[in-house]
Every structure is written in structure tokens, then in C-alpha cells.
Amino acid sequence: MRIFVAIDIPKVEKIIHIQNQIMKQYEFVQYHVRFINKYNLHLTIMFLGEKTDFAVREIISNLKRLDFDPFEIRFTNVGCFPKNSNPSVIWMGLDNQSSKKLNDLYGAISKLLEKDIGYGKETQNDFSEEKSVYVPHLTIFRINRHFKSRISFDPVFQFDPFTDEICQIKLKRSMLTADGPIYSDLFTIDARA
């Protein structure tokens, strides 16, 4: 099964409001630009790929040792990948302090998984340091691949920054379907009380 470590976003109504504002301001056609469903809004911490049931049990066992305090993240800006003139993804970004917290969390999870099951060792290559930079972001739109060349996105869109409190980290399963991915929770790690 395909799995990843992620954080669900509690304040989805704010995200939906921003998605609607962006659609209106940039005059996107809904057939060209696909909303990320409110049930699928999450910050990916680490994509682990295809794993066997045995490997998933090992990952869960390792993640049980993750210890973290609740923390706040602050959404402040929007952007896109790979470039403004031909985007595949439009995302919401975080302030520097939030990005640092998420990078620290990424580092802690990497150490837990690398030590016990070798996560990362088999995927290392000559460019791994450059390619493995973790950039925390919340994907809010995917661009239909047939229309990428018709879409341009200038990330000057302004919104009132807002915070969200993070109290859980989840190991999730991703099932790919013709209508997009379906995510389900496999394991939840709660922050210290």
C-alpha cells in the first residue's frame, strides 16, 4: 500500500474560502483547475511510497516513539510548482517559524524511520541532499495536465494570515482512483497533553 506521514488541517473552512477567492480572482475554469477536496487537505511530512503490511507495522511501531508538543502553524502566502507560467500545483505556504517546526518534525521522523527500517538509505543518490529538501506546503489546487500551458498564476494573491494548532500527526494510506486519491488514516500520534 502507498503510505505517507501527514498533518490534517483543522481549519478547512478558511482554506475553502481562500480556494474560492483564488478561483474568482484568477478566473480559473473549474474543468482546468481541480480543488483539493476538504477531506484531503493535509500537510505531507514524508511520503513513504509502496510498503508491505509487515513494513507498515514496523513503521507504526517506530512512529509510536515520536514525542512532540502541540504547536501552531501560520499560513501566510500562496505559490505554485514548478513555475508561474505552467503550474501543476497551487499551494499555501507558511511563515519561517512554522516551516522550521515542520522541518524539525521531518528530521525527527526521518531519524526514527532510518535507524530501524532503513528509510532513506535505499533511496539515496548523488543528488539526494539537493532533492531531499523538505518544503512544507499545503496543496490547494492541482492543474489538469491538458491545460497547464493555458494557466498562469502570479502568486500575489493576498489573504489574512491565520494560525492552526497541530495536535496530531497521522500515518495515512493513499489509494489512487480515477477520481483522485482516497486517503485513510492508519495510525494517529497525539501530541503530549
Q: How far apart are CA 139 and CA 92, in angstroms?
A: 7
Of 17, 32, 137, 146, the catalytic one is: 137
Helix (H) or strand (E) holding 142: strand 138-143
* 137 catalytic per annotation: yes
Catalytic pick among 17, 32, 42, 146: 42
Cis check: omega of the bond before 155, within 30 degrees of 0: no
Helix ranges restricted to H, 64-176: 96-117, 128-131
Q: Read off the amino acid at residue 143.
A: I
Of 90, 95, 99, nearest to 21 by C-alpha is 90
| Contact indicator for 178, 125 with CB cutoff of 8 Å | no
Q: Report, in angstroms and rounded to the nearest whole number, the Rg of the chain calculated over CA atoms.
A: 17
**Which residues sit opposite 64 in a β-bridge?**
none
Known catalytic residues? 42, 137
